[in-house]
Structure 1
Amino acid sequence: MNRALELLDGQRPDATSPLGWRCFQLALLLLPASALLAGLLLFVALILGSRQPAPWWKDRLNWLLAALSLWMVLGCLGASSGWLAWVGLGNWLPFFWAFWGFQPYVATPEARRRMALWLVAGTVPVLATGFGQMVLGWSGPYELLGGAIVWWIRGGGNPPGRLSGLFDYANITAAWLALSWPLVLAAFLQHARRWRSGGAPLALGAISLALVVTQVAEMLLTDSRNGWGALVLAVPIVLGPARWIWLLPLLLLALLPVVLATVPGVPAVIQAPLRELVPQSLWGRLNDFNSHGERPLALTRLSQWATAVGLIGERPWLGWGAAAFSVIYPLRTGHWHGHPHNIGLDLAISHGLPVALGVVGLVLWLLIRAAVKGMVSGALFERAWWAAALVLMALHSTDIPMYDSRINIAGWILLAGLRCRL
């Protein structure tokens, strides 16, 4: 017990309480496995993390978030989605508070590195259940701790043939694996460096290598185009600018056959042999070749985005209310979709253009300023942290995985780390 407490108490920033520091680390370990248990621990950490020497109004970003909160509440008063609009505030307002209250726990590079490693450790159950589902035929639900943890694992994946693991849906699993991928890669590179210098046991290096290989394999098995893109996007950032002179041309050279095999309009004399070379499971997925028959236009991203833009034009200031898209889209197209697959459009529909511009602008500002301040060219885990935040932002341009609370929590922790870096 004492040994475990010593492990948890290491590298604690001066401004954090011992209890909050322990709860925060355990929460990240449990986060993908149980939103309930992680949420309880994070709530304790948030209460303690809010007792900061400097009051919240000293940070101008908190004033922005407070103004956006008031605007969102005002919009709920006349929302067409009724009570759903008020429920939808739960996806945002608590996390505006968490953005500030979590900062003491990610205030230093050492703290961010430690939290990154806890997220890596927490990813292991995701990988294990994905392997069990696709290889061993596991099929749940599995309950632990009297139902406090429930894993809705479906044999063969969900949708069928696509790895989903304990998240129960392939795209959400891909989002978690994508945001944790830069951190897993950084952990491997760290152990590889230490092993080469004789400062790390071979067993740890073997474990980190196994995690990297498993992570890549399972991201491919999710059959998520976003996940595949994240695999490529994160690598040059984590490896660092010093390697870009040879890495970027190599990546472009490797991706060129895939692009030419996928995009329409390439002459058949070029495309045909490349489609023999590149697996059909890859180029077919990228251009929807594997879809059953012709996809109705209403099921495509372009149709969703066009409808979303029209809805924003009708009510640009206060929006329609949270979840309004899922109600209005079927009425106008005959096909159901829960959201418009773009976080900016979704925010503008739900809460108005000012909120969308404020939230998206905040995230972009944090990423750009952190890059300018040297995070992209900094230490290994600083680069990985920034890459994880970038990957998650990129995912939200064509999907909205943050509606899974675990993804949402991880995202705001990453943003809190960027703020501390500034």
Structure 2
Amino acid sequence: MNQPWLGRLDAARPEGASPLGWRCFQLGLLLLASSALLAGALLLVALILGCHQRLPWWRDRVNQVLLLVSALMVLGCFTASSGWLAWVGLGNWLPFFWAFWGYQPYLASAPARRRVALWLVAGTVPVIVTGLGQLFWGWSGPFQILGGAIIWHLKAGGNPPGRLAGLFDYANIAGAWLALAWPFALAALLQRPQPWLKRLPALLITVGLVAAVALTDSRNAWGALVLALPLVVGPARWIWLLPLLLLLLIPVGLASLPGVPLLLQAPARALVPEAVWARLNDFKFAGERDLASTRLSQWGVAVGLIAERPWFGWGAAAFSVIYPLRTGLWHGHPHNVVIDLALSHGLAAAVMVVALVFWLLIWAARLGIAAAPVFDRAWWASALVLVTLHATDIPMYDSRINIAGWVLLCGLRAYSLNPQPRQQG
């Protein structure tokens, strides 16, 4: 009776991938935004089954780099000033190094990556709906489904107030999720040769996603919309798209940037909504923020801490302990993943992880992913967007975004091992 539905889950399974693992992998990513518990259980099964590969993990030099990073992180825990928190913090990294290898069989082909991307888009619908509900209809949780297996904590009016957060604890984190899903929603809308009537669901989701991103009031997420658009659309359309984007962004820049002559800024601000330019130049916070609450202060203190202990770092979560002692204000992390990595685990570990991520992006680009099928272009764009977001925030500390991020990196590695023929569409 359920065979047709199960048969749909079996579609596009890469050769050599476990049938059960492939089903669990898809369902896990579908449920990821809604329930980290259910998704984690399904993805763990997929990971265990995905480890039965032809080649052992140590034959891939990328895994050798991650093994060395793991050793450095573990060694650093013995001298960490954050004590047991340093060991707990390894959970943000070591399991995902394993997943980076174990998930590759499920992402070994372009049809498989397309299918995974569509599951991520479908899984984003609850984020959009609950976010709109909390802002416009006053929805307030917690809502429980399946006897508490899924619990949605919603705050009426958003978190912070007036900003869409949906299923996430904070608007910026919701913005990061929506930003990584945006390239895939756009790809679903642009894919060919489907008629436009069949693209209607993708159109509705894409419009809802863009509206949700705008309502998060997250500058990072706004920037992600612009960054991903030309990458997904593809170089063939850049001849008209890039000038159009530039034409649209010039008034925003004139309205937002400090130091612009009033003669130019006044008409620009008349054209651009105040909610946009005021947010972009932090006008609403002018004169209200303590210096210690700014990212520049956080980065400065963190760099000083790195200089004090450059080899193995201070241990995970040390920043949240030391920063209040030195500034009088609490922050959970320094809002930059490179700085946070170096501070927590040392410069060597940070350099290797960052170099690996950039190598995956650059190598995929060199292999022609910009001219690959639209969902592979979207895959690269989504990975780049998430990497960029970590320059001024660390959304990976939400486990759901961390999982999605490593799935994206895993897909880039799978692409580099088996690049698809170049084509437009």
TM range (shorter): over 0.9
Residue number in structure 2 paired with 1:194: 194
**Residue 237 (structure 1) aligns with:** 231
What's 1:22 paired with? 23
Are 1:184 and 2:180 an aligned pair? no
Q: Which runs of 5+ in 1 are unaligned?
A: 197-201
CA distance in structure 2 between the partners assigned to 1:147 and 1:411 by the alignment: 26
Q: CA deviation at 1:168?
A: 2.6
Within-5 A mapping of 1:289-304: 289-291=283-285, 293-304=287-298
Amino acid at match of 2:215: L
Q: Does 1:387 align with 2:381?
A: yes
- 8 Å Cα contact 1:133/1:139 also seen in 2: yes
The gaps in structure 2 that reach 5 residues or longer are: 417-425
8 A contact 2:86–2:317 mirrored in 1 = yes
Q: Are the equivalent residues in 1 in contact too, given 2:293–2:329 (CA < 8 A)?
A: yes
Please tell me the residue identity of whatever aligns with 2:37: L
Partner of 1:37: 38
SS where residue 369 of structure 2 aligns? Answer: coil
Following superposition, the deviation at residue 146 of structure 1 comes to 1.4
Deviation at 1:294, TM superposition (A): 2.3
Cα distance in 1 for partners of 2:15, 2:411 equals: 16
Q: Which one of the candidate residues 303, 313, 317 is aligned to 2:311? A: 317
DSSP 3-state at the match of 1:260: helix
Provide the secondary structure at the position in 2 that maps to 1:33.
coil
Q: Deviations over 1:189-248 (max 9, x none)?
A: 126x4216xxxxx2x322111111111011000000000000000000000000111111
2:212 counterpart SS class: helix
Please give the alpha-carbon distance, in whole angstroms, between the structure 2 residues aligned to 1:205 and 1:153.
30
Does the 8 A contact of 1:154 with 1:168 survive in 2? no
Q: Normalising to structure 2: TM-score of the pair?
A: 0.96
| Native 8 Å contact 1:164 1:222 kept in 2 | yes
SS of the residue corresponding to residue 234 of structure 1 reads helix
6-15 vs 233-242, greater mean Cα deviation: 6-15
1:396-407 correspondence runs (5 A): 396-407=390-401
Partner of 2:423: none
Q: Which letter does structure 2 place at the counterpart of 1:394?
A: T
Please show how residues 215-230 of structure 1 align to structure 2 within 5 Å: 215-230=209-224
Does 1:366 find its partner at 2:367?
no
Shift of 1:293: 4.2
Q: How far off is 1:132 after superposition?
A: 1.1
Distance, in Å, in 2 between the alignment partners of 1:390 and 1:326 is 27
What TM-score, normalized to structure 1? Answer: 0.97
Question: Could you tell me which residue of structure 2 aligns to residue 112 of structure 1?
Answer: 113
Bigger CA drift: 274-283 or 79-88?
274-283
Q: What residue identity is the alignment partner of 2:172?
A: N
For residues 14 and 236 of structure 1, what CA distance do their matches in structure 2 show? 32
Counterpart amino acid of residue 354 in structure 1 = A
Task: Quote the offset at 1:188 in angstroms.
Answer: 0.9
Is residue 2:279 matched to residue 1:285? yes
1:7-406 aligned at under 5 Å gives the runs 7-190=8-191, 193-195=193-195, 202=197, 204-291=198-285, 293-406=287-400
Residues 188, 199 of structure 2: 8 Å contact kept: no
Superposition CA RMSD, Å: 0.9
Q: Does the CA contact (< 8 Å) of 1:330 and 1:337 recur in 2? A: yes
Q: CA deviation at 1:419?
A: 0.3
Aligned match of 2:5: 4
3-state SS of the aligned residue for 2:285?
coil
CA distance, structure 2, for counterparts of residue 264 and residue 94 of structure 1: 44
Q: Aligned partners of 2:64 and 2:201: how far apart in 1?
A: 44
Give the superposition deviation at 1:134: 1.2
SS state of the match for residue 143, structure 1?
strand
Cα drift, residue 292 of structure 1: 7.0
